[in-house]
Amino acid sequence: MSGMKKRENGKRLGNRRLFSMGLFGASVLFLLLVAVFGYVWQDAASVTDFSRKNLPPCAGYLFGTDWMGRDMFVRTVAGLSMSIRLGLLTAAVSAVIAFLLGLSAAVLGRAVDGLVTLLIDLVMGIPHMLLLILISFACGKGFWGVTLGIALTHWASLARLIRGEVFQLRESPYIRIAGKLGKSRAYLAFHHMAPNLLPQFITGLILMFPHAILHEASITFLGFGLSPEEPAIGIILSESMKYLAMGKWWLALFPGLLLTAVVLMFHYAGQTICRMAAPGSVHE
Amino acid sequence: MRYQKKWRVTAALLAAALAASCVTGCSGGQENAETAGNTEAEGSKGTEGAGTAESGSSQSAETETRDSVVVVMGPTSEPEAGFDPAYGWGAGEHVHEPLIQSTLTVTTPDLKIGYDLAEDVQASEDGLTWQVKIRDDVRFTDGEPLTAEDVAFTYNTLKDTSSVNDFTMLKEAVAVDDTTVEFHMNRPYSIWPYTMAITGIVPEHAYGPDYGQKPIGSGRYILKQWDKGQQVIFEANPDYYGEAPRMKKVTVLFMEEDAAYAAALSGQVDLAYTSAAYSDQTMDGFSLFSCETVDNRGFNLPAVPAGETDENGVPIGNDFTSDVRVRRAINLAIDRQAMIDHVLNGHGTIAYSVCDKMPWYSKDSEAAFDPQEAERLLDEAGWKTGADGIREKDGKKAGFTMLYSAGDSVRQALSEDTANQLAAFGIHVTVEGVGWDTAYDRAQSEPLMWGWGAHTPMELYNIYHTRPGGKYAQYSPYSNGAVDAYMDEALACTDLEASYELWKKAQWDGGTGITQEGDLPWIWLVNIDHLYWVKDGLQVAEQKLHPHGHGWSIINNVDQWTWE
């Protein structure tokens, strides 16, 4: 009886693992395709052709064309590709900042911890969008303004999380023993704590992509990011708003859906990795 | 793994925030989104404006008098500093008649000078004194008579405080008696009557820091109510000295383009501004009304080679566009009618100069689309077509970066179309959107898509005349002594009519100038028609050529509008 139940459970688990892996693979493949094709189509995305302006979606132009005859499918994919690449860069930078700060806060003593906590509270205390706008404006807007703005504003919550984990680890017997054995703080941090923090770090990193991408979209939507001729998802969406009243729904709908898809894909990929890296979480 | 849930919540919140910003953006739009505050403010303006449209129309429906009109303008038309001529009301970048105040002169439909308060305008032989006789039967709306003292006070005040207009040529205004005012000038300025046409006369006894909020004038209308960010209500001045206004009440709403369209669509307003992007729409009970303008768009071509910098270290000049043959080729290579059809859905006219159809416009500016000659000129200048279709000379590619003000979709489209058209001639143009904070400096070395057009020849001076004390003209490096001399002479002229000829000669005198055969430091593309949705039955009086700025000009003569 109990054996049968166990087998059923095992079967369900196996399916779930398979499903997770499939979803993970599909997500990564989708994101990779968007990133690569968008990169290749970068020049094509800016091509204007007034002889084909304001076309609704059709076989030739899946997402239709806008008021300057730009192919919205190509433009959307190019915009999302840039978002993904920018997301990769900024999320990586943010995660590294978070990892180092979180670790040093817990390891380097009370004074550093106080400083880092203050920094975290400072960044989290200012409304995110406002800080983002301030930084990117101060850095001269444009691509690097946005990149720096996003990179410098997304580390705080992950840093706080890692700091908490390190505090917990510090009190665990094996770390204390290693400490008593005379190992240095740096040795403890990188040899004993870092491997334990890796799952949190990787999950945090991947789950930061959607944030970074959405924030990139928001800030360009508000007109602080890139020049309007560049293909960026925020620019595409904010331009489409003007044309909604005229019934040109396709300009907003498809790019919006694709953006949502990209964000969801990152989310699923992150969740799957999280489960794989920390199998204990299935019991939660 | 507690944080997983937290991440999800934050992601959802972010998505909601994005969605919310989409909604604000709906009414806020992109134009002028240079600062966050700006966008927010415009957003709220749009929505609130939509709210008041409703109340406005319900009022007019109740009374059914048909002598009131509800007009929609863009949010940037709302005068930030109020209805004070010193701070841009009527004057400045977007000129129009000040409605609340009277002016000494007015511009006539053919853009010559007529009289409002003035009965006679005389310039002295040396051009240094202007004597103006004014009417003696004019009263401000608070009952006080308008005298020459008020006129002198207005000009002396504006000379010191005007933030938008150049009054440096005026030394002093003196009231000789109740109806005579004399302007003593620092230098001759023949087009002074055009300045007089945009300067509203304010009452000396009621002028103060809050004048802009509670203006008192002697014009056709009284400011009845101003709900900032939403609407302005004007009522006809019952004691107006001229013909009584037929439209007794004028309500002006400030809305974004899409909100204005929606307001018209629901029949809540009588006249709403719109743009070419909406011109293929149709609306029951409304028709599209198109006004010809001198609201032109064109770009500068730096006429000197790169290498110099100005006193602030801004680089000046462009090697490609410094060759006059290249500039001429570009002028001939652009099919302006195609551009109008592409970008403006046909709602525009070809522009050959900054002042098309003005009394001071020289017909020599015209240059027809001529692809063969353009090719020939480029060949002659040494730019040979390379393997990739782009012309080359000494290892350099033919081309430049075309700047436009980010957020202006018409200028963006014009820039893109220019790039497309020039690509056919082997000139590679990259288009880049910039903010006004950097645009002026960058235009010293790269072409920028500009918008100009005013009811005064001074614009020719501002664009083409060497900057006083400088080496080149202000907005794009260029200098020609002969052109300067004609304009100086035109300003020194005592006869306004005669000065028109000199302005024309400054453009082309048969040997030199700024036209196709001359130096051609600017290329003009189109005059953009100002478009409006007009409710059936509303008779909009005949319009003068609108200047730059799609705003108040339409109601210059709202007093003559009627309902059928």
> pLDDT tens digits for B243-254?
999 999 999 999
Mean pLDDT of B200-211: 93
Mean pLDDT of A183-192: 84
Q: Which residues of B touch A49 (CB under 8 A)?
A: 420
Nearest to B449 by CA among B419, B405, B506, B482: B405
Question: Counting Cβ atoms within 10 Å, is residue A202 exposed (0-12), middle (13-18) or buried (19+)?
Answer: middle
Q: SS3 of A212, please?
A: helix
Residue A218 sits at the chain B interface (C-beta within 8 Å):
yes
Mean pLDDT of A236-243: 87
Mean pLDDT computed over every residue of chain A: 85
Q: How far away is chain B from the Cα of A12, in angstroms, using its nearest Cα?
A: 22
Is B133 a residue whose pLDDT tops 80? yes
Q: Cβ of B54: how many Cβ atoms within 10 Å?
A: 12
The predicted structure's pLDDT at residue A9: 52
The predicted structure's pLDDT at residue A270: 82
* Alpha-carbon gap, residue A28 to A30, rounded angstroms: 5
The predicted structure's pLDDT at residue B409: 87
Q: How far away is chain B from the Cα of A132, in angstroms, using its nearest Cα?
A: 12
R_g over Cα of chain A: 23
* Alpha-carbon gap, residue A30 to A34, rounded angstroms: 6
Is B313 a residue whose pLDDT tops 70? yes
Is B14 a residue whose pLDDT tops 90? no
Helix-strand-coil split of chain B, %, nearest 5: 35, 25, 45
* Alpha-carbon gap, residue B377 to B247, rounded angstroms: 56
Is A39 a residue whose pLDDT tops 80? yes
* Alpha-carbon gap, residue B492 to B502, rounded angstroms: 10
* Alpha-carbon gap, residue B77 to B164, rounded angstroms: 15
pLDDT-above-90 percentage for chain A? 19
> pLDDT tens digits for B214-224?
999 999 999 99
Residue B115, sorted as left (phi over 0), alpha (psi -120 to 50) or beta, turns out to be beta
Domains annotated on chain B, with CATH:
2-78+228-291 (no CATH), 91-216 (3.40.190.10), 296-528 (3.10.105.10)
Q: How far away is chain A from the Cα of B474, in angstroms, using its nearest Cα?
A: 25
Half-sphere exposure at residue B120, Cβ-oriented, CA atoms within 13 angstroms = 6
Chosen from B10, B23, B30 to mutate, greatest number of chain A CBs within 10 A = B30
Please check whether residue A177 is in contact with residue A48, taking contact to mean a CB–CB distance below 8 angstroms.
no
Residue A8 sits at the chain B interface (C-beta within 8 Å):
no
For A142-146, B179-183, B559-563, which range has the lowest pLDDT when averaged over its residues?
A: A142-146
Is B360 a residue whose pLDDT tops 60? yes
* Alpha-carbon gap, residue B252 to B221, rounded angstroms: 13
CB contact under 8 A, B25 and A221: yes
Tokens of A230: 């560049």
Cα–chain center distance at B437: 19
- What residue has token string 């974004």? B256
Tokens of B226: 């101003």
Nearest to B94 by CA among B550, B558, B555: B550
Residue A241's pLDDT band (boundaries 50, 70, 90)? confident
From the list B29, B417, B419, the residue facing A242 with the nearest CB is B29
Rounded to two decimals, the pTM is 0.83
> pLDDT tens digits for B409-421?
899 999 999 999 9
Residue B43's pLDDT band (boundaries 50, 70, 90)? very low
Residue B9's pLDDT band (boundaries 50, 70, 90)? very low
Residue B393's pLDDT band (boundaries 50, 70, 90)? very high
Residue B141, φ and ψ in degrees, nearest 5: -70, -5
Task: Name, in order, each residue with C-beta under 8 angstroms of A27's C-beta and a sequence gap of 6 or more.
Answer: A265, A266, A268, A269, A272
List, as one string, the DSSP characters of A80-115: HHHHHHHHHHHHHHHHHHHHHHHHHHHHS-HHHHHH
Residue A174 sits at the chain B interface (C-beta within 8 Å):
no
Residue in B closest to A48 by C-alpha: B416
pLDDT-above-70 percentage for chain A? 92
Q: SS3 of B32, please?
A: coil
Mean pLDDT of B56-74: 69
From the list B3, B10, B434, the residue facing A161 with the nearest CB is B3
Residue B306, φ and ψ in degrees, nearest 5: -65, 165
Residue B28's pLDDT band (boundaries 50, 70, 90)? very low
Mean pLDDT of A171-192: 86
Q: Can you name the residues that pair with B272 across neighbouring β-strands?
A: B72, B533
Q: Cβ of A96: how many Cβ atoms within 10 Å?
A: 14
Residue A140 sits at the chain B interface (C-beta within 8 Å):
no
**Single-letter residue type at B498:** A
Mean pLDDT computed over every residue of chain B: 86
The predicted structure's pLDDT at residue B50: 42
CB contact under 8 A, A245 and B39: no
Residue A71's pLDDT band (boundaries 50, 70, 90)? very high
The predicted structure's pLDDT at residue A271: 81
Kindly list the residues of chain B whose beta carbon comes within 8 Å of any beta carbon in chain A.
Answer: 1, 3-4, 6-8, 10-11, 14-15, 17-18, 21-22, 25-26, 29-30, 33-34, 36, 39, 257-258, 261-262, 277-278, 281, 342-343, 406-407, 409, 412-413, 416-417, 419-420, 431-435
CB contact under 8 A, A246 and B261: yes
Is B508 a residue whose pLDDT tops 80? yes
Residue B368 vs residues B60, B299, B364, B425, B537: alpha-carbon distances, Å: 50, 17, 11, 16, 40
* Alpha-carbon gap, residue B281 to B266, rounded angstroms: 14
* Alpha-carbon gap, residue B483 to B541, rounded angstroms: 38
The predicted structure's pLDDT at residue A234: 87
From the list B11, B21, B432, the residue facing A211 with the nearest CB is B11
Residue in A closest to B17 by C-alpha: A218
Tokens of A273: 């990795």
For A12-16, A182-186, B512-516, which range has the lowest pLDDT when averaged over its residues?
A: A12-16
- ipTM comes to 0.79
* Alpha-carbon gap, residue A11 to A19, rounded angstroms: 12
Residue B162's pLDDT band (boundaries 50, 70, 90)? confident
* Alpha-carbon gap, residue B475 to B490, rounded angstroms: 21
Give the angle A112-A117-A123 at the CA atoms, nearest 5°: 125
Give the angle B76-B79-B83 at the CA atoms, nearest 5°: 165
Half-sphere exposure at residue B475, Cβ-oriented, CA atoms within 13 angstroms = 21
Residue in B closest to A208 by C-alpha: B7
The predicted structure's pLDDT at residue B78: 92
* Alpha-carbon gap, residue A91 to A209, rounded angstroms: 6
List, as one string, the DSSP characters of B536-560: TTEEPPPPPPB-SSSSGGGGTTGGG
CB contact under 8 A, A227 and B261: no
> pLDDT tens digits for B174-186?
999 999 999 999 9
Q: Which residues of A touch B348 (CB under 8 A)?
A: none
Q: For chains A and B, what is the number of CB pairs under 8 angstroms?
A: 118
Q: Which residues of A touch B36 (CB under 8 A)?
A: 130, 133, 222, 224
Mean pLDDT of B380-405: 93
Residue B64's pLDDT band (boundaries 50, 70, 90)? low
H helices present in B163-311, as ranges: 192-196, 257-265
From the list A204, A214, A271, the residue facing B15 with the nearest CB is A214
Q: SS3 of B45, please?
A: helix
CB contact under 8 A, B261 and A245: yes
The predicted structure's pLDDT at residue B23: 38
List, as one string, the DSSP characters of A33-75: HHHHHHHHTTTGGG---GGGTTPPS-SSSTT-B-TT--BHHHH
Q: How far away is chain B from the Cα of A68, in angstroms, using its nearest Cα?
A: 6
* Alpha-carbon gap, residue B373 to B378, rounded angstroms: 9
Tokens of A51: 């002889």
Residue B203, φ and ψ in degrees, nearest 5: -80, 130
From the list A223, A263, A274, the residue facing B39 with the nearest CB is A223
The predicted structure's pLDDT at residue B504: 95
pLDDT-above-90 percentage for chain B? 68
Q: How far away is chain B from the Cα of A1, in angstroms, using its nearest Cα?
A: 33
CB contact under 8 A, B258 and A244: yes
Mean pLDDT of B253-257: 92
Q: How far away is chain A from the Cα of B382, in angstroms, using its nearest Cα?
A: 28
* DSSP type of residue B369: -
Task: Name, in order, each residue with C-beta under 8 angstroms of B12's C-beta and a sequence gap of 6 or more.
Answer: none
Buried b (16+ CB within 10 A) or exposed e, A270-280: bbbbbbbebee
Residue A202 sits at the chain B interface (C-beta within 8 Å):
no
* Alpha-carbon gap, residue B205 to B218, rounded angstroms: 13
R_g over Cα of chain B: 25
CB contact under 8 A, A50 and B417: yes
> pLDDT tens digits for B327-340?
999 999 999 999 99
Tokens of B54: 């409703």
